[in-house]
Structure 1
Amino acid sequence: MSATTLSLLLERAEAERDAAAQALHAANAQAQAARAQHGELSGYRQEYQQRWTEQFSRATTMDIVACYQSFGQRLNQAVDTQGHVAQHADQREVRARDTLRAAEMRVAALRQLIKRREAEARAAADRHEQRTADEFAARVHLRRSLQAHA
């Protein structure tokens, strides 16, 4: 692969890494928001249950009990649903983190490959320069030898 191709691959890998970092940031924010909402709903459910436990210690009608139970069931469903949403958001965050880690490894591998290729090119150039200098020195020596014998 040419240096240009490698640099283009590196640019693309860096762009993918940057996109993965943004995706992780967004997934993190979504997961935090989902966990916070789940916590708020759970807290509200607990407050609601305490409030109605106190209310039941006093006399109440069956209609109010039925209303409490109906709302309590819907609240439990909302808490459970939000718990699932939070779990899925956490899973998306983990996948986004894994994607970012893989993208970072690809960028690091490409940078290492570019460094190795540059070092190989420098070594080849040094060998060529040394060979050229040796050939020049040999020609000079040969010319002097021929001139000395002439």
Structure 2
Amino acid sequence: MSASTLILLLERAESERDAAAQALQAASTQAQTARAQRDGLSGYRQEYQQRWTQSFAQGTTMSIVDCYQSFGQRLDQAVDTQGHVVNHADQRQVRARDALRQAELRVAALRQLIARRQAEAAKADERREQRAADEFAARAHLRRHQHAPV
């Protein structure tokens, strides 16, 4: 692979890494939002239960108890559903974190490959220069000995 091809691959890998970082940020935000909503619902359910516990102590009708239980069940379902949303959001966040990690590894591998290729090219240049210098010295030595009086 040529150096320009490697550089293009590196730029693409860096772009993919940046996109993966943005996806992780979005997944983290969604997970935090889902958690906050679940916690808000849980808090409301607790408050609701406490309020009704106080109301029961004062006495109430059977129809109000039925309404309380029905609404309490719907609140429980909402909290459970939001718990599932949180789990899915957490899973998306984990997958996004893994994707970012993989993208960072690709970028690092390409950088390492480019550095290795640059080092190899520098060594080849150095060997070429050394050969040229040796050749020049050998010719100069040969010219001196050819023109030297015997």
Residue equivalent to 1:42: 42
Instruction: Give matches, 1:6-17, under 5 Å.
Output: 6-17=6-17
Unaligned runs of 5+ in 2: none
Asked if 1:20 corresponds to 2:20, the answer is: yes
Cα distance between partner residues in 2 of 1:80 and 1:57: 28
Could you tell me which amino acid in structure 1 is paired with residue 120 of structure 2? E
Q: Hey, what does 1:106 align to over in structure 2?
A: 106
What is the alpha-carbon distance in structure 2 between the residues aligned to residue 55 and residue 70 of structure 1?
Answer: 16
CA–CA separation in structure 2 for the residues paired with 1:75 and 1:149: 111
CA-CA distance at 1:149 after TM superposition: 5.1
State the Cα RMSD in Å: 1.0
Paired residues, number: 150
Q: Secondary structure at the match of 2:47?
A: helix
State the match for 2:145 in structure 1. 145
1:17 CA drift (Å): 0.3
Letter in 1 for 2:3: A
Task: With the length of structure 2 as denominator, give the TM-score of the two structures.
Answer: 0.97
Q: Deviations over 1:1-30 (max 9, x none)?
A: 110010001000000000000000000000
TM-score by length of 1: 0.97
2:13 and 2:111 map into 1 onto residues whose CA distance is 10
| 1:1-150 matches, cutoff 5 A | 1-148=1-148
Identity of aligned residues (%): 75
Shift of residue 77 of structure 1?
A: 0.3
The SS at the match of 2:59 is coil
Gaps of 5+ in 1: none
Give the aligned residue type for 2:79: V
Q: For 2:21 and 2:120, how far apart are their aligned partners in 1?
A: 33
In the alignment, the residues of structure 2 paired with residue 41 and residue 121 of structure 1 have an alpha-carbon distance, to the nearest angstrom, of: 63
CA drift at 1:51:
0.6
